[in-house]
Amino acid sequence: MIHHTIVVIGAGTAGNTVAARLCRAGARDVAVVDPYPMHYYQPLWTLVGGGRASRAASERPRQDVLPVGVHWITDAAEGIDPERRTVLLRERGPLSYDQLVVAPGIQLNWDRIPGLQGTIGAHRTASNYRYDLAPLTWELIRTTAAGTAVFTMPPGPIKCAGAPQKIAYLAADYWRRQGVLDRIDIHLIVPTPALFGIPQFAEILADTAAAYGITVHLSTRVTAVDGPARCVHLHRDDTGEDSVLPYDMAHFVPPQSAPDWVARSPLAAPDDPGGYVDVDPRTLQHVRHREIFALGDVAATPNSKTGAAVRHQAPIVVANMKAAYQGLSLPGRYDGYASCPLTLSRRTLLLAEFDYTGQPAPSYPLPWPDTTAPILDFNLFKKVALPVMYWNFMLKGLF
């Protein structure tokens, strides 16, 4: 049986970042399990879909970003036996560990909405949640000059919950600059009673949608997609009303959950429909298995699932893993910080920052930049500064 002192499942944003910080903290036997050869900076896909960035800028070979000294196991995890402290690998069988970090990311469930899996990518539909379809989003936006455009958000936790709205605003801004906005009927479908969970940000987003003439369907979810007929079936939860909305182009976001194998494992939180890993939301340690930690999208924490959340979680996980290994009390406490850079147009950005209190949590001292209000010409922060920080600092455990 293969054995490593520390095993990290997943080499995405969370797994790579925590592995780098573990190495910098002195860990000498760290193995990362991930079968995929490329690493993607997925937040850039919104700008790809909005015609503001190239898809190539979002990818790098995994071997170029993994920390020096880690053992990269190019295999897929399919199960965890916490009693035996083993991870079951698809090809190589069991892998044993002393400590485990679970960070395989989130699963896109295209099949959870009838008709969506067979429609997405065809019948003038696309999604920025897939690497191969993000450029198609821009093609659909660029070639639409009249008709009905639909942008959807699914219920339940999803990664980067602002992304379904961002692309609607970028599209509307493009159509306004092209002089065709008044000929396009834009619909934004959201399952929540407001556009954002924090009233201050929700008001800004509602004003933005109104300024573009976007019809916002609150407390509404997609129940089916008919690609050949180009229509979306909707259900409004607060009134029980069902309706059908035709479209000329549509951007869909699928329901999401923990990977199936995680949801079936003993690590999943009881009664959690998403099957996320049951961790203490402050320490990120598993509530029943003290040698296991989880962070990123797969953790059952009530914060928003963003890269900014990972940046705050990773140092806490490393500090708490070291203390747990030594039998000490855990010093790190995660406050639920997350950030969602919401592109309101090609020139304006709302850097929504918040924590477990449900209140704005600005990283910078006011008055500048005021991240509780839209910032003009701050989109270079999302297009240039954030990727630079991601590739050169965050993934290396420096930021």
Query: HSE (CB half, 13 Å, CA atoms) of 205?
Result: 29
Query: Catalytic: 23?
Result: no
Tokens of 185: 């009927």
Give the pair of three-digit tokens for residue 377: 């010409």
Task: Round to whole Å and give the CA distance between 117 and 107.
Answer: 14
In 339-378, which positions are buried (b, 16+ CB within 10 angstroms) versus exposed (e)?
A: bbbbbbbbebbbbbbbbbeeebbeeeeeeebebbebbeeb
> CA angle 97-101-105, nearest 5°?
135
147: its two tokens: 């008709």
- CA dist 232 and 393 (Å) reads 42
Tokens of 208: 């933005």
Q: Name the catalytic one among 7, 95, 160, 344.
A: 160
Let me know: does 160 contact 340? Beta carbons within 8 Å.
Answer: yes
Give the C-alpha separation, 124 to 174, whole Å. Answer: 18
240 φ/ψ sector (left φ>0, alpha ψ -120 to 50, else beta): left
Q: What is the DSSP letter of 268?
A: B
Of residues 368, 298, 307, 367, the one with CA closest to residue 337 = 307
Report the helix count and the strand count for the chain, using DSSP H and E. 11, 22
Exposed, middle or buried: residue 316 (CB in 10 Å: 0-12, 13-18, 19+)? buried
Q: Considering only CA atoms, which of 275, 272, 260, 255 is closest in space to residue 113?
A: 255
**d(Cα 174, Cα 189) in Å, to the nearest integer?**
20
- What percent helix, strand, coil does the chain show, rounded to 5? 30, 25, 45
| Whether residue 340 lies in the annotated active site | yes
Choosing from 340, 361, 386, 394, the catalytic residue is 340
8 A C-beta contact, residue 308 and residue 339: yes
- Residues marked active site are found at 160, 340
